[in-house]
Amino acid sequence: MWVTLLLISLFLFAFGAMIGSFLNVVIYRSVKGESWVAGRSKCEHCNKQIRWYDNVPLLSFMLLKGKCRWCKTPISITHPVVEFLTGTLLVWWYLGGTFFFRLTQQPFHYVQPLFWLIVGFLLVFIFVADTLYMIIPDEAVGVLLFLTLLYRISLSLSGVMQPLDFVKTILGAMICGGFFFFLWWITKGKGMGLGDVKFAVPFALLLGWPNFIIGVFVSFLLGAGVAVVLLLLKKKKMKQVIPFGPFLVMGLVLTLVWGSNMLHWYLQYL
């Protein structure tokens, strides 16, 4: 049992890392406005085509010590980081799906794990694109919004989710989007981008009522904490912009995993 589990986990990690490798290319090319499938990957600096054996997720980065084989230009650390994240995501999904979060009711037995897997990849995509290029692509938010709405509606129609909870979740998403729009408007777009405003809607849909409030709170706490550390280390100046999307993603994930615990802990002190 455990050997099988370990072998499948290893295989899934490798497979997830390959998806991450592809995701890196997709993010880079969508930001640069290039086609996703146009040609093999090239070194951004010397334009030499990257050989397949230099393109093995995680391993190649280590073997090449993070540099291009030909021109020795450093390869962005985001490549192995994304590959590690997506590899871990797939293993977590498999183990979580095997042991924890499976609704027994058909068809959600299969739909739910698949839904969360796609959500996971979209969140990695948003996290990396905003960290590297200060952009939350509309396509990613659009797909996320569409899938999440569809998921919530089907949960509600099949009776897994109570109608009242569904209404609360929709209202919550509108309030959350409105709140971020207000922040964007009052800071004249300096505090956050419109991408964050759009992302706030599926963010609240995913967390539901009242957990999205915890999610927003955690995101701001993380963002403020990191901003203070960067200022103290003099890595950033007061006027430089730090993308907020990555903190929203982190706040979302933390609240998805520990949100109910956080709420109980907080209510104890009221």
Residue 209 CA to residue 222 CA, distance in Å, equals: 21
* Minimum distance from residue 94 beta carbon to Zn ion (Å): 36
Q: Does 50 bind Zn ion (CB under 5 A)?
A: no
Per the DSSP assignment, residues forming a β-bridge with 49 are 42
> How crowded is residue 98: how many other Cβ atoms within 10 Å of its Cβ?
12
Q: Which is nearer to Zn ion, 21 or 219 (CB)?
A: 21
**Stretch of 61-69, 108-116, 123-131, 224-232 lying at the interface with Zn ion (CB under 5 A):** 61-69
**C-beta of residue 132 within 8 angstroms of C-beta of residue 125:** no
Q: Which is nearer to Zn ion, 74 or 178 (CB)?
A: 74
Query: Among 10, 46, 77, 194, which residue interacts with Zn ion (rule: CB under 5 A)?
Result: 46
Residues 217-246 that bind Zn ion (CB under 5 A): none
Q: Which is nearer to Zn ion, 14 or 50 (CB)?
A: 50
Beta strands in the chain (DSSP E): none
Residue 57 CA to residue 23 CA, distance in Å, equals: 11
Q: Does 43 bind Zn ion (CB under 5 A)?
A: yes
* Minimum distance from residue 66 beta carbon to Zn ion (Å): 12
Q: Give the SS3 label for residue 124.
A: helix
- Fill in the per-residue mask, 62 to 101: x = in contact with Zn ion (CB under 5 A), - = not in contact: ------x-xx-x----------------------------
**Which structure tokens are listed for 114?**
């698949």
**Stretch of 45-53, 113-121, 192-200, 226-234 lying at the interface with Zn ion (CB under 5 A):** 45-53
Query: Please, which contacts does 156-164 make with residues 24 or more away whose CB atoms are closer than 8 Å?
Result: 158/105, 158/108, 160/103, 160/105, 160/108
Binding site for Zn ion (CB under 5 A): 43, 45-46, 68, 70-71, 73
